[in-house]
C-alpha cells in the first residue's frame, strides 16, 4: 500500500486531489485527515489549500498543521503543497493586509499587478485572477518533472503569486505579466502554484511521479 | 508562452441526464453526462460546465451523484450551475467535486449572497452568470439589461454596472450570456462582450449564439472573451474540440493544443 495523507484543515475541495491520486493505482490509499499521527505515519503528504490566506493560516495554526508539516519535512517525507498550500509555506503573504505564514521557504506572496493593473509585454491589460492553462518552464530537473515535457500547460487559478527569496529553490516558472514561481523544491518538499489534480495528463503524471518519489532530488 | 484562451463545452442536465442530447458517432450512451464529460476532456476541453435544470428536490440528489461521478473521472476544472441559492448548495457541490459554482438568479434576488459566497469559499470558485439583453433602440447608444427566467423577466439592472458590482462583491469570473443570441447560431453579441470584458478585471466567459468556429474567434478577438462556452456545435458533432482549437490557434489565438 502507498498511503497518502491529504491534510484537511477545512478549506475547500479535497475531493479532486484525492480522486486524482486514487485513479493512479489500486495500491494507492488516500486519507483526508487533520490528525498528526495519521499524517506523519503516511508514506507521503499532500498539503492543499484554496480560499483566503488569513482563514487558511488561522485553521493551520489552530489545528497544529504548521508543526506537522515542519516535522514531515524534517523527517524527509515527501510533501506536495498545492496552490494556497504553497503560499502558506512562505514567510508572509500580502493577501488580507499582511499575514505571517509558515516560513518553511524564504520569500513572500504578492498580488498580481500590486494595487494597480497587470500588463503584458505589449501593454495589454491582463485579467486577475490568473485563471486557466499556462506554460510551466522547468528551471531544473526534478523527479516530479519526469515524463513531463518542458513548458507543458497546467491549470492555474490564483490572484497572488510566490516571490521566492532563494532562487536555488525554484523548480518551475510561468509568465503572466512577469515571471513567477510556478514550482519550488526544497529537500523532500515540492510546492506548485497550479492544480495538478485539474491539469489532466500532465497533472496526473506529476501526481504519479509524486507517488513514486522517495523524497530525494 | 502565454495563458491560453479556454473552450468550455456545456452540458445541460435534467435528473442526471444530458437533455439537449449529444450525437457522437461512437458514443454508447448519448445521455450520460459522465461519459460525455470524459470524452470532452479527452478531446482537449479546457473545462466542463454542468448546468443543472432539474426542478425537483429528488432530482437534485441525482445531480450531486452525477457531479461526484464526473469529478472522480475527469481531471479538468468542473463548474456546476443551476439552482445554486444557498451557501449549503455551494458546499454540497464543492464537496461533490465541483471546482466552481455558477450563481444566476440568486445573485439578482439577493446580491449579498455573492459576497457571502466569495468570503466563505473564495472568489476562485464563484462564477456569476450574467444574462443580458439589449434594450437600447436603434440609433441609441448600446445598453443592455439583466434578465432572469430565461430572458423573459426584465430586472431594470444595467448589465455593465451589474457585472462591475458582482466583481466588487467577489465574483471570480463572469459567465456572460446574450439572451438575444442564445440558440440563434448567429454569433456572440460582440459589443456586449467587449463592454463587459473592458469593465471588469476578472475573466469573462462568452456564451450564447455560437454557430461556427469563426464565432469563437470573434468572441475572443473582438469580444475580448477569456473563454468561450458552447453546447450544440460540439454536441451534435458539427465541430470537434481539437478542430475548434486548431482553427483558433491558426488565427493567432493562444490555445492549449
CB contact under 8 A, A132 and B72: no
Q: In chain A, what is the straight-line distance between the N-terminal and C-terminal CA atoms, in Å? A: 23
Nearest-by-CA chain A residue for B200: A127
Query: Is residue B125 scored above 70 in pLDDT?
Result: yes
Determine which of B48, B94, B99 to mutate to test the interface with A (most A C-beta atoms within 10 Å). Answer: B99
Q: Does A198 touch chain B (CB under 8 A)?
A: yes
Rounded average pLDDT over B112-139: 94
Q: Is residue A125 part of a domain?
A: yes
| pLDDT for position B25 | 52
Q: Does B221 touch chain A (CB under 8 A)?
A: no
Domain count, chain A: 1
Name the pLDDT band for B28 (thresholds 50, 70, 90).
Answer: low
Determine which of B96, B124, B227 to mutate to test the interface with A (most A C-beta atoms within 10 Å). Answer: B124
CB contact under 8 A, B5 and A132: yes
Instruction: Specify the CATH architecture of the domain B6-250.
Output: Alpha-Beta Barrel (3.20)
CATH number at A82 reads: 3.40.50.880
Rounded average pLDDT over A169-192: 98
- Annotated catalytic residues of B are 12, 131
Per CB-CB distance under 8 Å, the chain B contacts of A51 are 121-122, 124
CB contact under 8 A, A16 and B97: yes
Q: Worst-scoring range by mean pLDDT, A108-117, B20-29, B118-127, B234-243? A: B20-29
Query: Is residue B24 scored above 90 in pLDDT?
Result: no
DSSP 3-state helix, strand, coil percentages of chain B (rounded to 5)? Answer: 40, 25, 40
Tell me the shortest Cα–Cα distance from A108 to chain B, in angstroms.
20
Query: Using CB atoms within 10 A of its CB, is residue B135 exposed (0-12), middle (13-18) or buried (19+)?
Result: middle
Per CB-CB distance under 8 Å, the chain A contacts of B97 are 13, 15-16, 19
Query: Is residue A3 scored above 70 in pLDDT?
Result: yes
Query: Is residue B176 scored above 70 in pLDDT?
Result: yes
CB contact under 8 A, B76 and A200: yes
% pLDDT > 90, chain A: 88
Rounded average pLDDT over B133-158: 93
Quote the domain boundaries for residue A63: 2-212
Rounded average pLDDT over A112-127: 91
Q: What is the ipTM of this complex?
A: 0.94
| pLDDT for position B236 | 81
Q: Is residue A84 part of a domain?
A: yes
Q: CB under 8 Å to B114, separation ≥6 — which residues?
A: B103, B107, B126, B128, B166, B169, B170, B171
Rounded average pLDDT over B7-28: 77
Residue-by-residue DSSP string for chain A: -EEEEEE-SS-S--HHHHHHHHTT-TTEEEEEE--HHHHHHSSEEEE---S-HHHHHHHHHHTTHHHHHHHHHHTT--EEEETHHHHHTSSEE-TTS-EE---SSSEEEEETTTTS--B-TTS-B--SSEEEEEEEEESS--GGGTT--TTEEEEEEESEEEEES-GGGEEEEEESSSEEEEEEEETTEEEESS-GGGSHHHHHHHHHHHHH--S--
Q: Is residue A17 part of a domain?
A: yes
Nearest-by-CA chain B residue for A118: B201
Tell me the shortest Cα–Cα distance from B74 to chain A, in angstroms.
8
Query: Is residue B21 scored above 90 in pLDDT?
Result: no
Tell me the shortest Cα–Cα distance from B153 to chain A, in angstroms.
31
Query: Is residue B68 scored above 90 in pLDDT?
Result: yes
CA distance A58 to A63: 9
Name the pLDDT band for A12 (thresholds 50, 70, 90).
Answer: low
Mean pLDDT taken over chain B = 92
| pLDDT for position B231 | 85
Q: Worst-scoring range by mean pLDDT, A5-19, A68-82, B194-208? A: A5-19
Please state the φ and ψ torsions of residue B146, each to the nearest 5 degrees.
-80, 130
C-alpha cell at B247: 482553427
Q: Three-state SS string across B6-67, please? A: EEEEEEEEECCEECCCCCCCCCCCCCCHHHHHHHHHHHCCCCEEEEECCCCHHHHHHHHHHH
CA distance A108 to A200: 29
> How many CB atoms are closer than 10 A to CB A150?
12
Q: Worst-scoring range by mean pLDDT, A8-17, A195-204, B42-51, B130-139? A: A8-17
Tell me the shortest Cα–Cα distance from B118 to chain A, in angstroms.
9
CB contact under 8 A, B97 and A15: yes
CB contact under 8 A, B76 and A153: no
Domain ranges of chain B: 6-250
Query: Is residue A163 scored above 70 in pLDDT?
Result: yes
Q: Is residue A217 part of a domain?
A: no
Tell me the shortest Cα–Cα distance from B32 to chain A, in angstroms.
20
- Annotated catalytic residues of A are 83, 195, 197
CB contact under 8 A, A127 and B203: yes
DSSP state of B4: P
Amino acid at each position: 500500500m502507498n498511503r497518502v495523507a491529504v491534510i484537511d484543515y477545512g478549506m475547500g475541495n479535497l475531493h479532486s486531489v484525492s480522486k486524482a491520486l486514487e485513479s493512479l493505482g489500486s495500491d494507492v490509499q488516500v486519507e483526508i485527515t487533520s490528525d498528526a499521527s495519521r499524517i506523519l505515519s503516511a508514506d507521503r503528504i499532500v498539503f492543499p489549500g484554496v480560499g483566503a490566506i488569513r482563514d487558511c493560516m488561522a485553521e493551520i495554526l489552530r489545528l497544529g498543521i504548521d508543526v506537522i508539516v515542519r516535522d514531515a519535512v524534517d523527517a524527509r517525507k515527501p510533501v506536495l503543497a498545492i496552490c494556497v498550500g504553497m503560499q502558506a509555506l512562505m514567510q508572509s503573504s500580502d493577501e488580507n493586509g499582511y499575514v505571517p505564514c509558515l516560513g518553511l521557504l524564504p520569500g513572500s506572496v504578492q498580488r498580481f499587478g500590486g494595487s494597480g493593473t497587470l500588463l503584458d509585454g505589449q501593454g495589454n491589460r491582463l485579467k486577475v485572477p490568473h485563471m486557466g492553462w499556462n506554460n510551466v518552464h522547468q528551471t531544473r530537473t526534478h523527479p516530479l518533472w519526469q515524463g513531463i515535457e518542458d513548458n507543458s500547460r497546467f491549470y492555474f487559478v490564483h490572484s497572488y503569486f510566490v516571490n521566492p527569496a532563494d532562487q536555488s529553490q525554484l523548480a518551475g516558472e510561468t509568465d503572466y505579466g512577469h515571471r513567477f514561481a510556478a514550482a519550488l523544491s526544497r529537500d523532500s518538499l515540492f510546492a506548485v502554484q497550479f492544480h495538478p489534480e485539474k491539469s489532466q495528463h500532465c497533472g496526473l503524471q506529476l501526481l504519479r511521479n509524486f507517488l513514486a518519489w522517495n523524497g530525494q532530488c | 508562452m502565454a495563458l491560453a484562451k479556454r473552450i468550455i463545452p456545456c452540458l445541460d442536465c435534467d435528473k442526471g441526464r444530458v437533455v439537449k442530447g449529444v450525437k457522437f458517432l461512437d458514443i454508447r450512451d448519448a445521455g450520460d453526462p459522465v461519459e460525455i464529460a470524459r470524452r470532452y476532456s479527452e478531446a482537449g476541453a479546457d473545462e466542463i460546465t454542468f448546468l443543472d435544470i432539474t426542478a425537483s428536490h429528488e432530482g437534485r440528489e441525482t445531480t450531486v451523484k452525477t457531479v461526484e461521478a464526473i469529478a472522480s473521472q475527469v481531471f479538468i476544472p468542473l463548474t456546476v450551475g443551476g439552482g445554486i441559492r444557498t451557501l449549503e448548495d455551494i458546499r454540497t457541490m464543492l464537496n461533490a467535486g465541483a471546482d466552481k459554482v455558477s450563481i444566476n438568479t440568486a445573485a439578482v434576488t439577493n446580491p449579498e449572497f455573492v459576497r457571502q459566497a466569495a468570503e466563505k469559499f473564495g472568489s476562485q470558485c464563484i462564477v456569476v452568470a450574467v444574462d443580458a439583453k439589449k434594450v437600447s433602440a436603434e440609433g441609441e447608444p448600446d445598453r443592455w439589461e439583466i434578465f432572469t427566467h430565461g430572458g423573459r423577466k426584465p430586472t431594470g439592472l444595467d448589465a455593465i454596472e451589474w457585472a462591475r458590482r458582482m466583481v466588487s462583491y467577489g465574483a471570480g469570473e463572469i459567465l456572460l450570456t446574450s439572451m438575444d443570441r442564445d440558440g440563434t447560431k448567429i454569433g456572440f453579441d460582440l459589443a456586449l462582450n467587449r463592454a463587459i470584458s473592458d469593465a471588469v478585471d476578472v475573466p469573462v466567459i462568452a456564451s450564447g449564439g455560437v454557430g461556427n468556429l469563426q464565432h469563437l474567434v470573434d468572441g475572443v478577438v473582438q469580444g475580448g472573451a477569456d473563454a468561450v462556452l458552447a453546447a450544440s456545435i460540439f454536441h451534435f458533432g458539427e465541430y470537434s474540440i481539437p478542430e475548434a482549437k486548431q482553427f483558433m490557434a491558426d488565427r493567432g489565438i493562444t490555445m492549449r493544443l
